[in-house]
């Protein structure tokens, strides 16, 4: 697919310690929306149970900044609503629940096509970032629902681990660390995973990708090695399949 029209903002999380909901990402969102003159955001609330409440939360954050927010779940024809949207925001929650719902509503191929070919602006946060990637294999969520497949929107050809977390070396807990889990994925699939710490995001414009936010990101390379990247790093090389 032609991906020159791509206009994505993939957030690690919607919340960051010390900030209000989405507040840490305000400048990033404004920059993204300004580029396409977005005034109304179509919110995709399926990752949480209460769609009305979730949409109200997002509206309360974005409306004061000058954006109208509509909930996709209120639209009688979701496909048409997506085709007419200026931008979509896919919120976090449970990645399995979200992806299952997107498949059940038969929206996966449509969103993929609108974003990659028509340049529909896409904002994802946490689970909304997971489903934007190649697959949901690197979600942190509990598999409370079973989607038909773990393959996702593939708006980018690699995997992201949102809420990426360094190991707590003082912990006495014997569950696997985040690094161990991601390395396990890499060992089975030989595919790269970008660990996005809270407060960071990936901005994708066409074939360019840039790390935003004030913290490093950790790349788990397909050969099993890892590299830390500083803010504003160029990740365009990850977009080449």
132-151 binders of a copy of itself (CB under 8 A): 136-146, 149-150
For the chain, the farthest-separated pair of C-alpha atoms sits apart, in whole angstroms, at: 52
Q: Per CB under 8 A, does 11 bind a copy of itself?
A: no
Single out the catalytic residue among 24, 51, 137, 163.
163
Q: Per CB under 8 A, does 97 bind a copy of itself?
A: yes
Among 1, 31, 36, 49, binds a copy of itself (CB under 8 A): 49
3-state secondary structure of 149: coil
CB 111 within 8 A of CB 144: no
Q: Is 141 a catalytic residue?
A: yes
Whole-angstrom distance, CA of residue 9 vs CA of residue 123: 5
Among 23, 31, 104, 176, binds a copy of itself (CB under 8 A): 176
CB 229 within 8 A of CB 211: yes
Q: Which of 8, 19, 2, 5 is CA-nearest to residue 123?
A: 8
How far is the CA of 68 from the CAs of 38, 59, 62, 79, 167, in angstroms? Answer: 9, 7, 7, 19, 39
Among 2, 37, 170, 172, binds a copy of itself (CB under 8 A): 172
Single out the catalytic residue among 126, 135, 137, 201.
126
Interface stretch with a copy of itself, choices 27-35, 67-75, 165-173, 214-222 (CB under 8 A): 165-173
Q: Which residues are catalytic?
A: 126, 141, 163
Q: Which residues bind a copy of itself (CB under 8 A)?
A: 13, 15-18, 49, 94, 97, 136-146, 149-150, 163, 165, 172-176, 181-182, 184-185, 187-189, 198
């Amino acid at each position: 697919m032609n991906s020159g029209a791509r206009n994505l903002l993939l957030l690690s999380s919607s919340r960051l310690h010390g900030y209000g909901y989405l507040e840490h990402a305000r400048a990033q969102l404004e920059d993204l929306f300004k580029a396409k003159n977005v005034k109304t955001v179509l919110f995709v609330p399926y990752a949480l149970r209460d769609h009305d409440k979730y949409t109200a939360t997002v509206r309360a954050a974005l409306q004061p900044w000058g954006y109208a927010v509509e909930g996709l779940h209120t639209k009688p024809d979701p496909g048409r609503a997506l085709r007419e949207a200026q931008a979509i925001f896919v919120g976090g929650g449970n990645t399995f629940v979200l992806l299952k719902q997107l498949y059940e509503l038969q929206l996966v191929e449509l969103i993929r096509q609108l974003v990659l070919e028509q340049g529909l602006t896409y904002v994802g946060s946490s689970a909304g970032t997971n489903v934007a990637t190649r697959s949901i294999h690197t979600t942190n969520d509990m598999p409370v629902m079973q989607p038909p497949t773990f393959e996702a929107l593939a708006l980018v050809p690699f995997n992201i681990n949102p809420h990426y977390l360094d190991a707590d070396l003082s912990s006495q807990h014997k569950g696997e660390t985040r690094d161990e889990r991601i390395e396990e994925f890499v060992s089975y699939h030989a595919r790269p995973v970008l660990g996005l710490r809270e407060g960071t995001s990936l901005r994708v414009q066409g074939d360019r990708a840039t790390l935003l936010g004030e913290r490093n990101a950790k790349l788990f390379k397909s050969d099993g090695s890892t590299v830390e990247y500083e803010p504003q790093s160029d990740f365009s090389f990850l977009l080449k399949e």
